[in-house]
Amino acid sequence: MLNFLFTRLLSALIVMFGVMCMVFFLIHLVPGDPVDMMLGESARLADREAMRVALGLDQPLLVQLQQYFVNLTQFDLGTSLHSRRPISEMLLERLPATLELAIAALVVAVAIAFPLGVIAAIRKDTLWDRGAMSFSLIGMSIPNFWMGPVLILVFSLWLGWFPVSGRDGIGSLVLPAITLGTALAAVLSRMVRSTLLEVLNEDYIRTARAKGLSESSVVLKHGLRNALLPVITLLGLQLGVLLGGAVITETVFSWPGIGKLTIEAILKRDYPVVQACVLLISLAYVFVNVMTDLVYAWVDPRIRTGGKA
Amino acid sequence: MLVSALLSSCAKQPDDAIRFGLSSAPISLDPRFATDAASARLNRLLYHRLVDFDDSSRPIPSLASWEALTPVHYRFSLKENGRQFQNSRFQKNKSLSTADVKATYDYILKSENASPHRASISLIRDIRVVDEDTIDFYLDRPDPLFPGYLVIGILPAEAVQSGRKFDRMSMGSGEFSFLDWPEDGLIRLKRRSDNQIFEFIHVGDATVRVLKLLRGEIDLLQNDLPRELVSYLEKQDGHKVVHRGGSNFTYIGFNTQDPVLKIDGVRQAIAYAINRDEIIKYVMGGKTRKANALLPPDHWAGNPSLQAYEYNPGRARELLSKLGYNVDQPLSITYKTSSDPFRIRIATIIQQQLAEVGIKVDLRSYDWATFYGDIKEGRFQMYSLSWVGIKSPDIFRYVFHSTAVPPAGANRGRYNNSKVDQLIEQAEKGVDQAERAEVYRKLQEELLMTLPYVPLWYEEHFYAAASSIDGYTLAVDGNYDGLIYVHRTQ
């Protein structure tokens, strides 16, 4: 198991290194100059050059990249070109909001998806099934930039239940979590339905029924528990996506998360902030993936021994 | 009912703060570094500057009055008002002095500090404190517009010298004092005259900003709404919308080195083909002023007697026909714009208007940095943009002088007109303001005749507020100085 863990961590490090190098070169390849964005055209050539030197942008790209990795080893993410603030401070400010929203959205998704998926599976080809899957289809089809304002209109403006936007208490989390969680619930409920249907046709389910167990016990205890593994994998991956920030939802609800910071930094060509955000996002993905691999290996010994068990 | 009551308690009850909705979040409260509009407007409230502008964009004394002792030597004398710095745990009852002025400007002038404002004041050779109230500025070269460049907020010298950071806090002498910046998108200030608290809340989405206003979560918002939302707000009970003409100039720019667009007749045809009245009436709500020049007619150097290119599709077709173009053999032009939905909408209308006279427009929109990079490099045929916050007529040198091709200036269209160069230089050498204004008027006539830009309009300003909000006034450049007098009536 230790050997397996070491291999996975090593490959995660390689992936992270590759991502960082790729993003570094890509963001520099995109047209647009951060010095232009800050100084405007009226600045003299000498002032532009002075600013380029002050920001370290006059160095060759490879030197900048090398310096970036040297700083990373000292946990120094640099400072923002625009606000001149330490990036670690900016990320730490945003991270709680992102985590809060990601976890809340996941809770909403699970709360909707599991009952829907189970009902659709045990009432296969009935109105219940069609209703649940139609809801799922609608959930997947409605874009967040539309759903967000509609929820605000109904629940904030008409009913006055929640604040329109901002991060101000538990009430302000509800609408963004529903907006983000609904789309995820749609995917998840389909997954729950299909895996549960597969499991319900297994021999051990027939045995459980033959033993005279109640239907709820058969479905929830023997069926759902065995159907969970792929669902948990999907949930883990989605958590990675959510930790990367949900730009549209964050924008609609003025939620101060990582996604919004990333997009703002890309638009301003704030290279160090983009790098740091991508580092954090890839770290979240890699962490979730490694955890998923470990859980799989723990559950299924064939994986950690390369199929020799 | 119970659920409704419980859930209603989730939404926080409003307190007495006046809440101002911002379309973009301020980046820094350090006036030495802030360049974005939101930060600059908040910094105006937090810091006093030496010089300000009147409604005709003439420099007027703010903290200091001045006299030019020689063309390269200006003496500034601090006035009594507005010199009390904000009390903080770092300083108590400190008054602003010339040492603070020197420390602030010296810091900006040091190239290693990389202040984005250095370029605007780099003609300063030396700054010498005469006494606590008098300070001298020595210049490298004469520039009669110089006082208008000293608009940066003054910081306390001790704090500057100790390297204190001002990006997330403030120690200014302005009408407002800084309270806190608890999270990105929320800044709290206090008005010093009556301790009224203000919250500046960033709400990026325009629709949500309007919904927050209607719900009472913000009390006031200014500009940056699509026209349909402004119309919607105008119809809402309990709210008001107030408009004022602005000075931000929107135009269509041409690449005058382009084989097609260097032909005068083509640029004139485009000017005649654009129906500005229609766009202003149906897209901009009818309250926008048409523009004939970069400076508005009420600017001290503006020209109110310019003859506009009025909509005349017949004349446009005639001009194109002389050049061998017609509906069967259309002229094809690429038109670049930013990715802002409102700009794209206007560009689409212009595309349609040009199609009606036989000009086929290939419309392309880009994110701001890419778009800006392209126009700076001259990678365009035609583009549209706005000049924002223009106060000083030195803009003409940056934009139209033949030596101002980027990166030396903002002559993006590579416009080269010796008469324009000569008029710009003549205006800069003018002895008094009236003489300079006269030359600038002639210059604007020449520009309108030769059309390196097609002037479109000056963007209007508006604010929308709850009816309980009173006393707010709109500034011609869109600043938030109206907050100095705003109050709640109930």
What are the residue ranges spanned by the domains of chain A? 2-73, 88-304
Q: Is residue B41 within 8 Å of residue B198, measured between CB atoms?
A: no
Q: Do B369 and A171 touch (CB under 8 A)?
A: no
Residues from chain B that touch A165, judged by Cβ atoms under 8 A, are 203, 205, 208, 212, 217
Amino acid at B361: V
Q: In whole angstroms, what separates CA A234 from the centre of its chain?
A: 11
Look at residue A305 and tell me whether its pLDDT is greater than 70. Answer: no
Tens-level pLDDT at each residue, chain B (490 residues): 344 444 444 444 446 899 999 998 898 899 998 878 899 999 999 999 999 999 889 999 999 999 999 999 999 999 887 777 877 666 667 889 999 999 999 999 998 787 888 878 989 999 999 999 999 999 999 998 899 999 999 999 999 999 888 888 888 889 999 999 988 889 999 999 999 999 999 998 898 999 999 999 999 999 988 888 998 999 999 999 999 988 899 999 999 999 999 999 999 999 999 999 999 998 888 888 999 999 999 999 999 999 889 999 999 999 999 999 987 888 999 999 998 888 999 999 999 999 999 999 999 999 888 898 888 889 999 999 999 888 889 899 989 999 988 877 889 999 999 999 999 999 988 878 899 999 999 999 999 999 999 999 999 999 999 999 999 999 988 899 999 999 998 6
Among residues B439, B452, B354, the alpha carbon closest in space to that of B412 is found at B452
Q: Is residue B386 within 8 Å of residue B474, measured between CB atoms?
A: no
pLDDT tens, position by position, A8-57: 888 888 888 888 888 888 888 877 777 777 776 656 677 777 778 877 88
Amino acid at A201: N
Same-domain status, B226 and B337: no
Q: Do A253 and B208 touch (CB under 8 A)?
A: yes
Same-domain status, B464 and B370: no
Q: B390 is in which domain, residue-wise?
A: 249-458
Among residues B208, B363, B97, the alpha carbon closest in space to that of A165 is found at B208
Q: What are phi and psi of B61, to 5 degrees?
A: -65, 140
Same-domain status, B238 and B327: no
pLDDT tens, position by position, B285-310: 888 899 999 999 999 999 999 988 99
Q: What are phi and psi of B385, to 5 degrees?
A: -160, 180
- Report the residue of chain A nearest B120, measured CA to CA: A43
The CATH number given to whatever domain includes residue B215 is: 3.40.190.10
How far away is chain B from the Cα of A32, in angstroms, using its nearest Cα? 5
State the architecture of A88-304 in CATH terms.
Orthogonal Bundle (1.10)
DSSP state of B238: T
Predicted local distance difference test score (pLDDT) of residue B4: 47
Mean pLDDT computed over A283-307 = 73
Predicted local distance difference test score (pLDDT) of residue B88: 66
Same-domain status, B402 and B469: no
How many structural domains compose chain B?
A: 3
Amino acid at A239: L
B89 interfacial to chain A (CB closer than 8 Å): no
Residues from chain A that touch B9, judged by Cβ atoms under 8 A, are 171
Amino acid at A17: F
B106 interfacial to chain A (CB closer than 8 Å): no
How many other C-beta atoms can be found within 10 angstroms of the C-beta atom of residue B193? 10
How far away is chain B from the Cα of A185, in angstroms, using its nearest Cα? 23
Best of B23, B165, B212, B412 to disrupt the A interface (most A CBs within 10 Å) is B212
Mean pLDDT computed over A299-309 = 59
Q: Do B10 and A170 touch (CB under 8 A)?
A: yes
A193 interfacial to chain B (CB closer than 8 Å): no
Give the pairing type, strands B239-254 and B220-222: unpaired
Predicted local distance difference test score (pLDDT) of residue A219: 84
* Cis omega (within 30 of 0) for bond into B26: no
Question: Which stretches of A126-166 are assigned E, i.e. beta strand?
Answer: none
Among residues A191, A213, A216, the alpha carbon closest in space to that of A204 is found at A213
Would you give the end-to-end CA distance of chain B in angstroms? Answer: 29
Q: Is residue B188 part of a domain?
A: no
Same-domain status, B330 and B434: yes
Element (H, E) at B252: strand B239-254
- Whole-angstrom Cα distance, residue B91 to residue B171? 9
Element (H, E) at B26: none
The CATH number given to whatever domain includes residue B281 is: 3.10.105.10
Domain final residue pick, B139, B161, B183: B161
Predicted local distance difference test score (pLDDT) of residue B486: 96
What sign for the dihedral angle of Cα A58, A62, A65, A67?
negative
pTM for this predicted structure: 0.81
Predicted local distance difference test score (pLDDT) of residue A296: 72
Residues from chain B that touch A256, judged by Cβ atoms under 8 A, are 183-185
Phi-psi map region of B336: left, alpha, beta (phi>0 left; psi -120 to 50 alpha): beta
B118 interfacial to chain A (CB closer than 8 Å): yes
Q: Is residue B348 within 8 Å of residue B302, measured between CB atoms?
A: no
Residues from chain A that touch B165, judged by Cβ atoms under 8 A, are 84
Predicted local distance difference test score (pLDDT) of residue A235: 83
Same-domain status, B233 and B330: no
Same-domain status, B140 and B209: no
- Nearest Cβ partner for B185 among A51, A85, A254: A254
Angle between helices A225-243 and A87-122 (to 10 degrees): 150
Same-domain status, B241 and B363: no
- Report the residue of chain A nearest B35, measured CA to CA: A38
Confidence of residue A307 (pLDDT cuts 50, 70, 90): low
Predicted local distance difference test score (pLDDT) of residue A41: 60
Integer angstrom CA distances of residue B102 from B52, B80, B155, B223, B230: 18, 18, 10, 36, 45
Best of B6, B186, B372 to disrupt the A interface (most A CBs within 10 Å) is B372
Q: Is residue B276 part of a domain?
A: yes
Spell B203-242 as b/e; 16+ CB within 10 A means b: bbbbbbbbbbbbbebbbbbbbbbebebbebbeeeeebebe
Give the pairing type, strands B289-290 and B487-488: unpaired
